[in-house]
Amino acid sequence: EAGVTQFPSHSVIEKGQTVTLRCDPISGHDNLYWYRRVMGKEIKFLLHFVKESKQDESGMPNNRFLAERTGGTYSTLKVQPAELEDSGVYFCASSLRWANEKLFFGSGTQLSVL
């Protein structure tokens, strides 16, 4: 069974540019989560999809971040325009039901904004 896949694994962009991160969850997992970890800090929740609907987007930092999950399969997280403070590791996770169940994580996208 394929795990959660994230692409790219690393991205280096300049301030003001746009970056799109992609996450392919485990097939059949309705729940998809985005998290972010700034270096050395705790992992922070960004948002939660149930199928194609945003269940909870309370963790999204601001309107420069746009997440989509068209068709309830893969998800994208776009940052436009990127700022220096957006640097960090962006994790995607999926689960059959909800987060208080087992989460399956991708290996993350390391985003560096210069």
DSSP string, the chain: ----EEE-SEEEE-TT--EEEEEE--TT--EEEEEEE-TTS-EEEEEEEETTEEEE-TT--STTEEEE-GGGS-EEEEESS--GGG-EEEEEEEESS-TTS--EE---EEEEE-
Binding site for another protein (CB under 8 A): 3-4, 35, 40-45, 48, 56, 91, 93, 98-100, 102-108
Q: For another protein, which is the closer residue by CB, 1 or 42? A: 42
Q: For another protein, which is the closer residue by CB, 10 or 15? A: 10
Q: For another protein, which is the closer residue by CB, 50 or 81? A: 50
In the complex, least distance from residue 86 CB atom to another protein, rounded to whole angstroms? 19
In the complex, least distance from residue 92 CB atom to another protein, rounded to whole angstroms? 9
In the complex, least distance from residue 69 CB atom to another protein, rounded to whole angstroms? 17
Q: Give me the torsion for CA of 68, 72, 73, 77, rounded to 10°.
A: 10
In the complex, least distance from residue 57 CB atom to another protein, rounded to whole angstroms? 11
